Amino acid sequence: MGTGRLEAFSDGVIAIIITIMVLEMKVPHGDRLNDLLPVLPVFLTYVLSFVYVGIYWNNHHHMLHATRTVTAAVLWANLHLLFWLSLFPFATGWMGENHFSALPTALYGTVLLMAAIAYYLLQQAIIRSQGPDSILRKAVGRDWKGKLSPLLYIAAIAATLFSPWISEGIFVATALIWLIPDQRIEKVLPRSDV
């Protein structure tokens, strides 16, 4: 079993997740600026989550590019990642509607943390399936971003005890770290028009 249908299914799920998040921005009933303003925090969390899901899609894409065959372990590790990504709209909506208060922010951080762990497990499952000469292991290298992110999310969850705004700052900073695109895999792999 190759990666074609796994990619297509993951793309479908991620495309839907990224789009239904916007449904949490409820259309206000009035038509004045004061009616629109309460939507602003929901909009800001939407931007943040859109960037995170975009990062996941981007990295997922690169990772599967370095994958040839899909074992049962890889398939379920991929569904496990999609599961945590599918909780983004809920966590985003709760944090946005409550204007970044402590518990919703902590839950948001928890979903980010679980998604990061799920991504790491998927990466390990692919590396194991590729044996000792794994091209993905070589491409990933020391993976400092993948190892740093969960620690940052844990710090952000803990920071909600003091001020959720510190947590938001960590979320934004972590997204910026990832926005520098993951060109490691592109370096190892030869160019191709997949």
Ranges within 39-98 binding a copy of itself (CB under 8 A): 47, 50, 54, 57-58, 61-62, 65, 68-69, 72, 75-76, 79, 82-83, 86-87, 89-90, 93-94, 97-98
Distance CA 58, CA 18 (A): 13
Figure out which of the listed residues 101, 148, 161, 165 binds a copy of itself, where binding follows CB under 8 A: 101
Nearer to a copy of itself, 9 or 120 (CB): 9
Smallest distance from a copy of itself to CB 168, Å: 15
Size of the site for a copy of itself (CB under 8 A): 67
Q: Is 109 helix (H, G, I), strand (E, B) or coil?
A: helix
Distance CA 51, CA 59 (A): 12
Contact between 131 and a copy of itself (CB under 8 A)? Answer: no
Contact between 188 and a copy of itself (CB under 8 A)? Answer: no
Smallest distance from a copy of itself to CB 186, Å: 7
Q: What is the DSSP string of 7-50?
A: HHHHHHHHHHHHHHGGGGSPPPSS-SHHHHTTHHHHHHHHHHHH
Nearer to a copy of itself, 151 or 184 (CB): 184
Task: Report the candidate in 66, 70, 63, 61 with the shortest Cα–Cα distance to residue 2.
Answer: 70
**Greatest pairwise CA separation for the chain in angstroms:** 62
Contact between 19 and a copy of itself (CB under 8 A)? Answer: yes
Neighbouring residues of 39: CB distance < 8 A, sequence distance ≥ 6: 25, 26, 28
Smallest distance from a copy of itself to CB 120, Å: 20
Neighbouring residues of 77: CB distance < 8 A, sequence distance ≥ 6: 118, 121, 122, 124, 125, 126
Residues lying near a copy of itself in the complex (CB under 8 A) are found at 1-5, 7-9, 11-20, 22-25, 27-33, 36, 47, 50, 54, 57-58, 61-62, 65, 68-69, 72, 75-76, 79, 82-83, 86-87, 89-90, 93-94, 97-98, 101-104, 107, 179, 181, 183, 186, 191-194
